A and B are shown apart, each in its own frame.
Chain A
Amino acid sequence: MTISLADWQHRFAEALHAPDATDPDLGPQPGLDVYRNNVRKSLIEALSSTFPHTRTLLGERFFTAVASDYVRRHLPDEPRLVHYGNHFADMLDSLPTLADYPYVIDICRLERARLDVSHAADATPLDAEALARSPDPGALACSPCPATRHLIGCHDVLGLWRALERGEARAGVGAPGRWHWLLVRRGRNVDIQSVTPACGALYHALATRVTLGDALTDCGRRHDPEEAGEALGTLLGLGALTLSRHEEVTP
């Protein structure tokens, strides 16, 4: 072989991307199609596994066509396939044919977030009573648990989501708007709750690793101090917060 292994692998990869091209070194071998099909099919299956509800809403044929296009544009950047498909919702969002179905993109984003939450690290949720016992709760550094996500959607799709979870393909889509959802892992399941905008703001303030007091002040400035307090109650009630920086609360 006259070319380096690195060059050869570039040419092989190019041959995988271009089914009609014939590499002079590889020749017109039908076996190349096996590798092309393996790559394409396995990645479409990975997307199908991550986005089952999106597939239900789009239908098998359309989903496969879109997934196939996604695979062409975005190969995984690491071998753990549960992390594949981070830009899939963005791609759906860019399709003119889906402009009248924005709720599909919401469902797609929820599915991506659910899988991330399912595989995220464990953490001990901060207990509201323990927080109350702290001599200076405002100075505590707490943050969202790794197994949580906050999402903003453009339709109230939680009814549709629950119907899809029950295996029902048909359900009404709620009102358009700016909807805030919090995903929290509980045991084997990931719960999705509708939360207030203040709750979303507090979640993100805490994610920047400020103290609880600073996060509440920030949230209270953006919304209302009373709403910020309620948001803290919601996040604690959902078990969405954990102590960071090895903070300890006196038992």
Chain B
Amino acid sequence: MPMDTTTLPTGAQGIGLKHRHVPELLSRHADVDFLELHAENHMSAGGPFRDDLAAITERYPLSVHGVGLSLGSAEPLDTAHLHRLVQLVDELRPPLVSEHLAWSRLQGDVYNDLLPLPLTRESLAVVTRHVDATQQALGRRLLVENPSLYVHLDNTLGEAEFLAELVERTGCGLLLDINNAYISAQNLGRDLDAYLDALPLSAVGEFHLAGHHLDTEAVPPLRIDDHGSPVCDAVWQRYAQLSRWLPNVPTLIEWDTRLPSLSRWLEEVDLARHHHPAHRPLATTMEEIS
């Protein structure tokens, strides 16, 4: 019977899709519930990369994670790029589609990073307009990811408040990147508990987990979101807590630099399962709660 790759099981655990791992992912069924791809890496018109993606799609559910839509740009959305995203999503029919609370495009130049934007009423209006347009074009709900931040900006809204209003105005969901939330809290001196308390957690449609490194040469030292190492203990602890509150939400472990072997990456999935209530003995979970 063909596998249903258009839905995810409860509390699904996934990893990123990398070209390097495609042969292994096709030669055996890796023990993951889904794979997440960066949309911009899979927008080829044809050729072997498209063929690989078609083969992967038959075996694994996919999540489409955009990094280039630039929802936070003051200028209008790049309609050509939005059209490419729609085509990809229509073709893959993924259970999850997500983008970022960030900007990267300015007057035809693409900065290829997730740049921060000041959280103001004007920014909220801009992002609301762009999320509305994206969801309308996609014909489905978009998850918007919280950023990892390195600079203090002249905000008039808190990030959690901004995201809550965005959810209310657009009906979008949230991709809660716990590593990003931890990094921003550490770098900017934010209260992570207060941030999480203020987020509309019922809108969270996916968790992201990833590794980061501490740049001790920066003054003050900065935590840099490089997706190049295992998830740190502090993030695992937050994940254990949040997944207890939101046990059905899928979890994706990112790894984009210093890419490990597929087996090593899957070990990280085992760790995520270890921290997830669905995979832990109830007694342990109750002990943590009390």
A146 to B50, CA, bound (A): 15
Which residues from B are CB-within-8-Å of A8?
A: 117-118
Kindly state whether residue A4 has any CB partner on chain B within 8 Å.
yes
Which residues from B are CB-within-8-Å of A32?
A: 150-151
A43-B112 in contact given A30-B218, A33-B218 (Cβ < 8 Å):
yes
A121 to B104, CA, bound (A): 27
Residue of B nearest to A26 (CB): B151
Which residues from A are CB-within-8-Å of B73?
A: 9
A79-B81 in contact given A35-B115, A43-B112 (Cβ < 8 Å):
yes
Q: Is B45 within 8 A of A121, CB to CB?
A: yes
Interface residues on B, range: 35 or more
Which residues from A are CB-within-8-Å of B44?
A: 82, 118-120
B contact residues vs A (CB 8 Å cutoff): 40-41, 43-50, 67-70, 73-75, 78, 80-81, 84, 103-106, 108-113, 115-118, 120, 122-123, 126, 149-154, 156, 187, 215, 218-220, 222, 224
Interface residues on A, range: 35 or more
Q: Is A34 within 8 A of B74, CB to CB?
A: no
| 1/0 contact string of A11-34 vs chain B (CB within 8 Å) | 011001000000001110111111
Q: How far is the CB of B36 from chain A (nearest CB, A)?
A: 17
A187 to B116, CA, bound (A): 42
A contact residues vs B (CB 8 Å cutoff): 1, 4-6, 8-10, 12-13, 16, 25-27, 29-35, 38-39, 42-43, 46, 75-82, 117-123, 146-147, 185, 187-188
Residue of B nearest to A13 (CB): B106
Q: Is A31 within 8 A of B149, CB to CB?
A: yes
A76-B117 in contact given A5-B123, A82-B44 (Cβ < 8 Å):
no
A131 to B245, CA, bound (A): 66
Q: Is B74 within 8 A of A6, CB to CB?
A: yes
Taking A1-B118, A120-B47 as given, write out 5 further A-B residue pairs in contact, using a Cβ cutoff of 8 Å, ordered by the A residue number.
A5-B123, A8-B117, A31-B222, A75-B112, A78-B78
A-B contacts at CB below 8 angstroms, number: 133
Q: How far is the CB of A219 from chain B (nearest CB, A)?
A: 28
Q: How far is the CB of B60 from chain A (nearest CB, A)?
A: 21
A119 to B50, CA, bound (A): 8
Which residues from B are CB-within-8-Å of A31?
A: 149-152, 187, 218, 222
A31 to B84, CA, bound (A): 33
The 6 A-B pairs at the shortest CB distance, nearest first, are namely A79-B68, A31-B150, A122-B46, A6-B74, A121-B45, A119-B44
Interface centre among B105, B109, B111 (most CB of A within 10 A): B111
Q: Is B48 within 8 A of A80, CB to CB?
A: no
Q: Is B110 within 8 A of A79, CB to CB?
A: yes
A116 to B175, CA, bound (A): 33
A29-B151 in contact given A9-B73, A9-B103, A75-B111 (Cβ < 8 Å):
yes
Q: Is A185 within 8 A of B47, CB to CB?
A: yes
A10 to B109, CA, bound (A): 11
Q: Is A120 within 8 A of B112, CB to CB?
A: no
